[in-house]
Amino acid sequence: MANPPLYISTRGRTEPVSFEQAVMSGLARDGGLFLPAEIPDARPLMAQWRTRQYADLAFEIYRLFSDLPPDPLRGLATQSVARFTHPEVVSLRPAGPFYLAELFHGPTLAFKDIALQFLGLLFEYYLARRPHRLTVLAATSGDTGSAAVHGLRGRQGLSLFVLYPHGRITRVQELQMITVLDENIHCAAVRGTFDDCQALVKSLFRDLEFRDRHQLGAVNSINWARLMAQIVYYFYAVFRLQAQTGADQVQVAVPTGNFGDIFAGYMASRMGLPIARLILATNENAILARFFATGRYERGPVHATLSPAMDIQAASNFERYLYYLSGERPDRVREWMTAFETTGRLTLEDWITHPDPLWAAGSANRAETLDTMRRLWRTAGIMPDPHTAVGLAVAERFRSDRWPTLVMATAHAAKFPEAVREAIGDDRPARHPTLEALHRLPVRRQVIPADETAIRQWMENPVSPPLTPPEPLP
């Protein structure tokens, strides 16, 4: 490639790096997040892309952002979806007035498999050409951790350490992690919230001596490769919805807590994908919805909800959007992030005076989430998971006669049997044999305090807790 793509930090105090450096380091050394120095214009290519199968489309998009040779890159794109059970990888399903893009046909039944199956392979590819190991550190509110475990288990040259909030993810999500006994996988429940876990991870990445000594890498959506992989399904789903409806543009509703999934849609829009509107949907932890309504980004208490992946009050990927909102001025991003990290609040006059018409936003509470699950089951025979139900509930407020609405269905309902039972009094419609099998496996369970010293000691000496018997089915 004559001009390989370069990656810059949102905070502007790190020299541009290669795609490999951005992927393997995860977070920029100045504490910022990596973005491509230039966003590729996909419009001249989209006519060729419209009928591509998923792996072929992924290859075409990945080659715009990376400098890998074509043959290994195509192989990685193909291998990354080999364990998906649906022939299209991402399926499109009518659901009342909307269309669901079902992103959950991977090994852990969540959308994060799409990116983390690819990232695990990408890490292994680079490590085969490097003389050292990689220590991957992740925080999860549920699905990232399980998808990372299943994407990185057994991979050569790396170890994975996952922090998750004790008692704040579903039993199934925890079992997907603690039943994996590969020697390179280490998971711990932290006595705190997801925001506590995320803050601990960021603090360790900011300790450059610790980071270099352990060769830290990231699988959270702070890693650019995660977002690059998620861009693909926006193109794929929008192309197929246009083919079904004949629409020139579509609107997309996205349940999101950490702003990674919807930011991938934002990047797809900037590449030229005809998205008329991005509808941001969240639960009672509505920091993002409040920003898009008022221009105020303000941390509040974390509420435990039916949709735990969105139980977040500090969305790490929001900094990437701030970079573009600032007019690509890293000095302003540094100023804004320092203000937020210091005070827990930020008011952006730029947004108040010039809101971006691409965006709409809203939140759905517990009652609205359960009602949406109940109604879709009764009217269409579809049981959405509670995160997807949040997306559907908010999408209902922005129904349009001009554009068909695509709702990102982010997980299989079987991952949230308690919510399904609460919605309809029975969890049988949401059962799945892959998840039921987890209850027959032994587990390794470990709980540690939300304390940086404790996390460091655990990573320095990762002694596995003893196996305990499998848990019975409820």
Q: Which residue has the tokens 């350490």?
A: 161
User: 112 catalytic, yes or no?
Assistant: yes
36 membership: H or E segment, kind and range: strand 34-36
SS3 track for the chain: CCCCCEEEECCCCCCCEEHHHHHHHCECCCCCEEEECCCCCCHHHHHHHCCCCHHHHHHHHHHHHCCCCHHHHHHHHHHCCCCCCCCCCCEEEEECCEEEEECCCCCCCECHHHHHHHHHHHHHHHHCCCCCCEEEEEECCCHHHHHHHHHHCCCCCEEEEEEEECCCCCHHHHHHHHCCCCCCEEEEEEECCHHHHHHHHHHHHHCHHHHHHHCEEECCCCCHHHHHHHHHHHHHHHHHHHHHHCCCCEEEEEECCCCHHHHHHHHHHHCCCCEEEEEEEECCCCHHHHHHHHCEEECCCCCCCCCHHHCCCCCCCHHHHHHHHCCCCHHHHHHHHHHHHHHCEEECHHHHHCCCCCEEEEECCHHHHHHHHHHHHHHHCCCCCHHHHHHHHHHHCCCCCCCCEEEEECECHHHCHHHHHHHHCCCHHHCCHHHHHHHHCCECCCEEECCHHHHHHHHHCCCCCCCECCCCCC
Give the Cα separation of 30 and 38 in Å (integer). Answer: 20
Phi-psi region of 151 (alpha: psi -120 to 50; beta: other; left: phi over 0): alpha
Annotated active-site residue in 11, 63, 74, 112: 112
Active site residues per annotation: 112
